[in-house]
Each structure stands twice: as structure tokens, then as C-alpha cells.
Amino acid sequence: MSELKDTGFDDPVTVDVTLSVNGESRPVTVDTRETLLDTLREHLALTGAKKGCDHGQCGACTVLVDGRRVKSCLTLTVTLDDRRITTVEGLAAGDTLHPLQSAFIETDAFQCGYCTPGQLCSAVGMLAEVADGWPSAVTADVAGRPVLDDDEIRERMSGNLCRCGAYVNIVAAIRQVGA
Amino acid sequence: MRPFTYERAADVRSAVAVCAAGDAAYLGGGTNLVDLMRLGVATPAVLVDVTRLPFDRIEETEEGGLLIGAGVRNSDLAADSRVRRRHPMLAQAVVAGASGQIRNMATVAGNLLQRTRCAYFQDVTKPCNKREPGSGCPARRGEHRNLAVLGHSDACVATHPSDMAVPLAALGAVVHIEGPGGSRQVPMPGFHRLPGDRPERDTVLEPGELVTAVEVPPLAFGARSRYRKVRDRASFAFAVVSVAAALDVADGMVRDCRIALGGVAHVPWRAELAEAELCGGPATEAAFTRAAGLEMAQARPLERNAFKVPLAANVLVRTLIDLVEAR
Ligand SMILES: Cc1cc2nc3c(=O)[nH]c(=O)nc-3n(C[C@H](O)[C@H](O)[C@H](O)COP(=O)(O)OP(=O)(O)OC[C@H]3O[C@@H](n4cnc5c(N)ncnc54)[C@H](O)[C@@H]3O)c2cc1C
Ligand code: SF4
Ligand code: FES
Ligand code: FES
């Protein structure tokens, strides 16, 4: 028997966690290094969230955790038990699309569609933030209540890139639902 | 990424005990640490998740200040009505950083302790004194357009990337720390350190020490404050230069002020020379220009970032003028 070489690497560590995804309880065994994005795509067959950069820079992987938008490529799955995860697959109620999904179709807010699941989840979270009165970098009076105009939409959605440049219609879709 | 064990801290004592035992790191929102682990820059064997510790509130202090829990998410800090009313520059700085998704994840402690975005630091195939002491600093002669002009050393010319830390330095915020040897408090800007010949140390934090809160002392004129950030694109980019300033003006005179600069040094840079020059003097553009010039006269720009010196001075002057003109 040949001797195994020491790679200098420790053994992978696995942990059992129970995730709540789109209202369903999903037990999974994950490597501690695994991100929510990889768990969704590789273990749970939820391939809506996309891997664009894997560095927090593009927003394609955006999902909602406890109703808040986050980047699933920088979220370790082991940190998430007891948390409520919503992916793009969970936005529609059965065959009834989420208003933002309908608006994206109506305003032609995508081309290749790669960024779209992230744009949708981000927009859902963003509209909730505005409803809660959170300021943004373009809110003139940071202590006042923000009004959702196009500048606010653009600033608040700046964490979601679109290589097809569908921005103009993405803003229009969000305005239609949010205004 | 190196495999690691994951521990969820039940309380401060056990978190500190695990981390002090070595080869461990605290995990906040993970927006910086997870990325650095993926890049091979950070290689902890144990991650201690501190996000479920009860440090997620902002409380009033007896002195009328605010005690901000270390685990408060950046977006909750910026959304807090007291922060927005009393210290607009702090709320503005937080929302000027990163993106909505990242601010929902990032914690106050993690933001203070995020590492430099110097490209060599993040690339394990390159030398870097901060990542590997003694290996050299390629940035000094290489890519340093966005690195330091103030307070740098032969060993390292990196900048601290945080927006939030800039108004906190201006406000003299106090970092509350819990460690193996007990608790202590360190006022900013003294929490972050200049690189000197130990660039591997960003802050005065000792191994195993946990940040539990950041205390913002009261500032009577804090409501007249502003954060202004210059970046390479309109949004979602680190600062090239930024200014946090609070100004107390009456009858055309500066009674008091607090100023700090971002994007120019290894620390959020408290502009003490400018503050001293301004206090008691006229609140005029000429006086502001003189004070900004005095502060930036200490700069030692590198070959390709000299533009930051007049830029920082101009942004400071403009911010002060805005504060005078504001109602
Ligand atoms: C694409 C992108 C763009 C960004 N743009 C900006 C920007 O424009 N401006 C800006 O300011 N920032 C920006 N950031 C950085 C972001 O603000 C930081 O990553 C974030 O604030 C770090 O907080 P965290 O809780 O996620 O920290 P983590 O990643 O969890 O931790 C960071 C460090 O802090 C340590 N730590 C965490 N909590 C504690 C504690 N309680 N006590 C002691 N040590 C602790 C960790 O061990 C680690 O070393 C950007 C990040 C990304 C990914
Ligand atoms: S500036 Fe600092 S962080 Fe960048 S390469 Fe030099 S030593 Fe490393
Ligand atoms: S894949 Fe997560 S932000 Fe790009
Ligand atoms: S629609 Fe193609 S990347 Fe946005």
C-alpha cells in the first residue's frame, strides 16, 4: 500500500443543519466551508440564485434571509439554522407571480436573465427597506423619510450588476411596483 | 479554503476562551472574512460565530451618548433615528459603503476590523508585508493609486477601507473590548494603528480580544455634520477620498469642529491640525482652505497618488462650506 502524502490540509468538517427554505424545512449535511449559494444550487436543486463573482460584487446570488436581502455567496450555510430563507423560486404564490416578477416581464427588464433572480430578490428586500424608512446615500435629508424616485432606486439597487445593461427597464419595473 | 470547525458563541466568556486558544477568528457578517478565507489570505482553523451574542442593540448612555453593540448590522445602524438625527455624518457614511445586501450582513465590529483592499494583500501569489511580514511591499512601486498619502511607512502604504470608521474617528468613539485579560476601552482614532514596521497589525486589538460595542459620546453640534465620499463610480465603490466633518458655527466664527479623512491613511485620519487651525477662527472659505492646506501639507504622496492631496483638501473645504450654508 502506498503511503498517503500529507497535503498540509486538515480534514473537511461537516455539520448537520436544518434550513427553512421557501417555507419548507430542509435538513442538509454541509461542509462548514460551504456557502448558502452552493447549498441551494448543489444540494437543494434551487438553481435560481446565480454565481456571478463569488466575491460579493455582483448581486446575482441575492436571496432573502429573515426577509432581508443578503449575498448568498458570502453567507456560510452553517450559520443559518433557524433562519428563514427565501429564494427567487419562493417569490410567486403558486402560479401567481410576485408583482415584481410581473413588472419585470411587462417592462422588459431583462435580456439573458442571468442577473434577474438576484435583481428580483434584491428589489423585494429593497422595497421593504424603503417602507421601513431606511435612508440611502442619495437621501437628501438622512433623518427624513425617503421618497422612492429613480435616483433612490438606482442607488439602492447598485449592488446588483447587469451585464446586459437592462438597467433602464429594471428601474422602470421597480418604480411601477414601488411608487 | 482551509477546513475549519464552526462554533457558535453562547456568551462572551466562552467566545473569548475559544479564540484566545489560538488559530481562531471571530465571524461577524463574514462579508470580508469569508472572502479572505476563500482567497487563502485568512486561514483560521476555528470560526467563532459571534452574531448571536446579545450585542445587537443601540442603547443610550447615562452621559447622553449611544452605545452601539458590536453585532449591530450596518443597515440597522444607519436606520436608527437617533443616529440619523444626532450624527448625520455617521448614518451617511454607513449608507455610502458597500451595497444594501452587504450592509444587511456586515456588523459594526466587522466593519471596523475589515482588512485593506490593497490588491497585493489579497493576492497570495504576491509578496506583502501585511500578509507575510518581511516579504516586501510591492505596492510602494506598483499599484498604489488608491493607497495612502499620510502616515505610511516603508513597510506598508495601505489604506483602511471603512467609511463608517471615518465619522467614528471624528466623534472620538470608544471601542469596548473584552479579552482573556479582562475588559478595556480604546478611544478612536487610537484603535487603528499606523503601519510603522508592524503592518501586519491593523489595530491595537490583541489576539483573542473581542469587540463588544462602540460608544459614541454626545456631541452637542453633531446634528450639523456631513460625510462626503469621492469614488471612481457613483455607487458601490470604496472611497478614493472621504471627509467626515461636524461644525459648530455662530456669528460667522467656528466655535468647535470635528474632522476626519478616509481613503488617505492606514487609519481613519483625524485632522487635528485642521481642527486646531479652525477653532476660534472665521468660518470663511479662505480660513477653510488654509486649514485644509495645513493638514495636507503633512502628506507624502507616492508616484501615482499625488492627486489625492489636493482632492482631500478640496473635499474638506467644500464639506465645511456646505455645513456653514446648511440652514
Ligand atoms: C463588494 C464589496 C464592497 C464593499 N464596499 C465597501 C465600501 O464602499 N465601504 C466600506 O466601508 N466597506 C465596504 N465593504 C466592506 C464591508 O463594509 C465589510 O466587509 C464589512 O463591514 C465587514 O463586516 P462583517 O461583519 O461582515 O465582518 P467579517 O467579515 O465577519 O469580519 C471582519 C473581521 O473582523 C473580525 N471580527 C468580526 N467581529 C468581531 C468582533 N466582535 N470582535 C473582534 N473581531 C471581530 C473578523 O475576525 C474579521 O477579521 C465592501 C465589501 C464588499 C464585499
Ligand atoms: S501596501 Fe501594505 S498591504 Fe499593500 S502590498 Fe504593501 S505591505 Fe501589503
Ligand atoms: S455571486 Fe454573490 S455577489 Fe456575485
Ligand atoms: S439580463 Fe443579462 S445580466 Fe442582466
At residue A54, what is the residue type?
D
CATH architecture of A99-178: Orthogonal Bundle (1.10)
Residue A56 alpha carbon, nearest atom of ligand 3: 3
Shortest distance between the Cα of A143 and any Cα of chain B, in A, equals 5
Question: Which chain A positions have a beta carbon within 8 Å of B81's beta carbon?
Answer: 143
Instruction: Please state, in angstroms and rounded to a whole number, the distance separating the CA atoms of residues A41 and A118.
Output: 14
Q: How confident is the model at residue A8 (pLDDT cuts 50, 70, 90)?
A: low
pLDDT tens-digit series, residues A65-77: 999 999 999 999 9
Mean pLDDT computed over every residue of chain B: 97
* ipTM of the shown complex: 0.96
Q: 0.90 exceeded by the pTM?
A: yes
pLDDT at position A5: 58
- Length in residues, chain A: 179
pLDDT tens-digit series, residues A91-107: 999 999 999 999 999 99
Q: Is residue B28 within 8 Å of residue B106, measured between CB atoms?
A: yes
Secondary structure, 3-state, B253-273: EEEEEEEEEECCCCCCEECHH
Concatenating the DSSP letter of every residue in A37-87 gives HHIIIIIS----S--S-SSSSS-TTEEEETTEEEEGGGSBGGGGTT-EEE-
- B283-287 CB contacts, 8 Å cutoff, 24+ apart: B283/B247, B283/B249, B283/B252, B283/B253, B283/B254, B283/B320, B283/B324, B284/B252, B285/B317, B285/B321, B287/B254
B197: number of CA atoms within 13 Å, CB side?
A: 1
Mean pLDDT computed over every residue of chain A: 95
Q: Which residues line ligand 2 (CB under 6 A)?
A: B 116, 118, 120-121, 128-130, 137-139, 147, 156-158, 199
CATH architecture of A14-90: Roll (3.10)
Closest to B161 (Cα-Cα) out of B202, B213, B105: B202
**Phi, psi values for residue A63, rounded to 5°:** -135, 175
pLDDT tens-digit series, residues B222-240: 999 999 999 999 999 999 9
Q: How confident is the model at residue B326 (pLDDT cuts 50, 70, 90)?
A: confident
**Phi, psi values for residue B226, rounded to 5°:** -155, 145
pLDDT tens-digit series, residues B43-102: 999 999 999 999 999 999 999 999 999 999 999 999 999 999 999 999 999 999 999 999
pLDDT at position A10: 79
Q: Is residue A160 within 8 Å of residue A116, measured between CB atoms?
A: no
Annotated domain spans of chain B:
225-325
Which residue in the block uniquely carries the three cell numbers 424608512? A133
Q: How confident is the model at residue B22 (pLDDT cuts 50, 70, 90)?
A: confident
Angle between helices A99-106 and A167-178 (to 10 degrees): 140
Annotated domain spans of chain A:
14-90, 99-178
Which residues on chain B place their C-beta less than 8 Å from a C-beta of chain A?
1-6, 27, 29-31, 34-35, 37-38, 45, 47, 49, 51, 75, 78-79, 81, 84-85, 88, 91-92, 95-96, 98-102, 104-105, 234-236
Q: How confident is the model at residue A3 (pLDDT cuts 50, 70, 90)?
A: low
Answer whether B84 sits within 8 Å of A143, measured CB to CB: yes
Instruction: Please state, in angstroms and rounded to a whole number, the distance separating the CA atoms of residues A171 and B186.
Output: 44
pLDDT at position A2: 47
C-alpha cell at A146: 425617503
**Gyration radius (Cα) of chain A, Å:** 19
The dihedral region occupied by A133, where left means phi > 0, alpha psi between -120 and 50, and beta the remainder, is left
Answer whether B79 sits within 8 Å of A135, measured CB to CB: yes
Answer whether A142 sits within 8 Å of B105, measured CB to CB: no
Question: Which chain B positions have a beta carbon within 8 Å of A15's beta carbon?
Answer: 6
From edge to edge, which strands make up the β-sheet containing A24-31?
A24-31, A14-21, A84-86, A62-65, A68-71
Q: Which residues line ligand 1 (CB under 6 A)?
A: A 56-57; B 25-33, 50, 70, 97-98, 102, 105-107, 109-111, 113-114, 161-164, 210-211, 238
Residue A53 alpha carbon, nearest atom of ligand 3: 4
A54 lines ligand 3 (CB under 6 A): yes
pLDDT at position A1: 44
What is the percent of chain B with per-residue pLDDT over 90, rounded to a whole number? Answer: 98
What is the percent of chain B with per-residue pLDDT over 70, rounded to a whole number? Answer: 100
pLDDT at position A4: 57
Instruction: Please state, in angstroms and rounded to a whole number, the distance separating the CA atoms of residues B185 and B173.
Output: 10
Q: What is the mean pLDDT of residues A137-156?
A: 97
- Domain spanning B225-325: CATH 3.30.390.50: yes
Question: Which chain A positions have a beta carbon within 8 Å of B34's beta carbon?
Answer: 35, 74-76
